[in-house]
Amino acid sequence: MKAIVFSEDGEIASQMVNYLKGKAEVIASTLTEEKEKCIRAGAEKLYLLSGIAEPENISEAISEIKNATGADYIFIGSTANGRDIAGILSAKEDMKPISEITSFEINDGKATVTRFLYGGKAVSTEETSATLYVYAPGISESARAESDTPTETIQLKEPSVKPESEEPKTSGGVDLEKAKIIVSVGRGLGSKEGLGIAEELAKKVNGEIAGSRPVCLDYHWLSEDRQVGLSGKKVKPKVYIALGISGQIQHIAGIRGAKTVIAINKDKSAPIFEECDYGIVGDLFQIVPKLISAL
Ligand SMILES: Cc1cc2nc3c(=O)[nH]c(=O)nc-3n(C[C@H](O)[C@H](O)[C@H](O)COP(=O)(O)OP(=O)(O)OC[C@H]3O[C@@H](n4cnc5c(N)ncnc54)[C@H](O)[C@@H]3O)c2cc1C
């Protein structure tokens, strides 16, 4: 079995290359600037895509790689661009897609996957004939092989739509998928000023700060790369401390891998209390300072 793995994030590509090792002959692809994160992932070959990258021209390049290598399967990392690329490829290559897989096994030519359904409400394990998969970041640790993978560069075609100007995305440069302790904040924080208390707690426990979608995407109290959940990062820390997060299913979809979840919320009927190991009902602005001084 031959598989192409693509993500525009070299680290996410590298995780899947490592995951598929021993199951398939893996051909990796990422953007040229992500080369270093992927070159020692242990793929048979690495295709680097160079130029202005958009889902349209990336999907064309992946089709080229498929034709050149005769790969049976394509795996695309689940990022905002990745999901667009998979959609285009599915139509273009007439490949049946499966989204958000968290595991992939193949026996006697039959694939079995685990994936989230209904926006993260359910997890399904199923046999499938699909050949195009969108995989969840964090599916595996990334590994480093002894030597560099042979590479080939593909020049991306000029995109049909070009941005007039670009604004750099705000990024905290954080690797939440690897964090052992996470202090995560929700709308219950009330304002950006409330962050101070969460940051103090994070410092005490040597943790990383993360947030729910409104906090990262709507209010920009935190950078987008700190969003946890279905459309954010899937994290697996030893301890996840949720402050003022209601626990909607789309948030929970990102913390299923957490070992211990501790929640503080002033509403005793908040759904987070169904999902946590330890829950404290109360105002976070009263409880967190007590926790900090106790620590
Ligand atoms: C397709 C789709 C994808 C999505 N993806 C994501 C995702 O990846 N990540 C994500 O997080 N969401 C995601 N969402 C949004 C999700 O449905 C929720 O809207 C979101 O998680 C709610 O964020 P929150 O818990 O911060 O806010 P709220 O739901 O508003 O909850 C705030 C909580 O804070 C509590 N609170 C208020 N004040 C205090 C206080 N002083 N002390 C203690 N507690 C307090 C309240 O009781 C409440 O429970 C997605 C939605 C859709 C439709």
Residue among 218, 259, 190 at smallest CA distance from 198: 190
CA 209 – CA 222 distance, rounded (Å): 9
Residue to substitute in 251, 272, 283 for testing ligand 1 pocket (most ligand atoms within 8 angstroms of CB): 251
Whose alpha carbon is nearest atom 29 of ligand 1? Answer: 246
pLDDT of residue 246: 97
Report which DSSP code applies to 248.
-
DSSP state string for 138-151: TSS-----SSPPPE
Q: How far is ligand 1, taken at its centre, from the CA of residue 244, in Å?
A: 8
Q: How far is the CA of 272 from the centre of ligand 1 (A)?
A: 10
State in Å: Cα 211 to ligand 1 middle: 9
Q: Which residue is closest in CA terms to ligand 1's atom 47? A: 267
How many angstroms is it from 245 CA to the middle of ligand 1?
A: 5
Using the mean position of ligand 1's atoms as its centre, give its distance from the Cα of residue 291 in Å.
23
The answer to whether 208 touches 202, Cβ cutoff 8 Å, is yes
Strand residue runs (E) in 140-202:
151-155, 181-185
Instruction: Read off the tokens for 202.
Output: 């994070």
pLDDT at 174: 82
Q: Tell me if 178 sits within 8 A of 273, measured CB to CB.
A: no
Which tokens in the block code for residue 6? 């693509």
- Measured by CA distance, the residue closest to atom 31 of ligand 1 is 246
The amino acid present at 92, given as its one-letter code, is K
Query: Identical fold at 2-155 and 176-294?
Result: yes
Cα of 282 vs centre of ligand 1, distance in Å, is 17
CA–centroid distance, residue 265 to ligand 1 (Å): 11
Closest of 20, 106, 102, 15 to residue 3, by C-alpha: 20
pLDDT in tens, the chain (295 residues): 999 999 999 999 999 999 999 999 999 999 999 999 999 999 999 999 999 899 999 999 999 999 999 999 999 998 879 999 999 999 999 999 999 899 999 988 889 999 988 766 788 999 999 999 999 887 888 888 889 999 999 999 998 877 788 777 666 678 898 899 999 999 999 999 999 999 999 999 999 999 999 999 899 999 989 999 988 888 999 999 999 999 998 899 899 889 999 999 999 999 999 999 999 999 999 999 999 999 9
**Would you report the helix, strand and coil content of the chain in percent, each value rounded to 5?**
35, 30, 40
> How far apart (Å, rounded) are the C-alpha atoms in residues 58 and 52?
9
Residues with CB under 6 Å of ligand 1 are: 119, 186-188, 212-215, 227-232, 244-246, 248, 250-251, 254, 264-267, 270, 283-285
Q: What angle do CA 56, 177, 24 make, to 5 degrees?
A: 60
Residue 134 and residue 28 in contact, taking contact as beta carbons nearer than 8 Å: no
Indicate the domain borders of the chain.
2-155, 176-294
- Is it true that domain 176-294 has CATH number 3.40.50.1220? yes
- Spacing, Cα 15 to ligand 1 middle (Å): 29
Gap between the Cα atoms of 195 and 186, Å rounded: 10
Query: To test the ligand 1 pocket, which listed residue (221, 250, 269, 284) has its Cβ within 8 A of the most ligand atoms?
Result: 250
Residue nearest ligand 1's atom 52 by CA: 250
Identify the H or E element spanning 208: strand 208-211
The protein residue whose alpha carbon is closest to atom 9 in ligand 1 is 229
Listed residue (194, 228, 188) closest to 208, CA to CA: 228
Task: Give the residue, out of 83, 187, 191, 252, with the most ligand 1 atoms within 8 A of its beta carbon, to mutate for a pocket test.
Answer: 187
Q: What SS3 class is residue 12? A: helix
| Pick from 156, 178, 142, 113: nearest CA to 26 | 142
Dihedrals φ, ψ of 127, to 5°? -85, 140
The confidence score (pLDDT) of residue 292 equals: 97
Task: State the pLDDT at residue 160.
Answer: 82
CATH class as words, domain 2-155 = alpha beta
Expressed in angstroms and rounded, the spacing between residue 253 Cα and the centre of ligand 1 is 12
Regarding beta strands 2-6 and 25-31, do their DSSP bridges make them parallel or antiparallel, or are they unpaired? parallel
For residue 89, the number of C-alpha atoms closer than 13 Å in the C-beta half-sphere is: 34
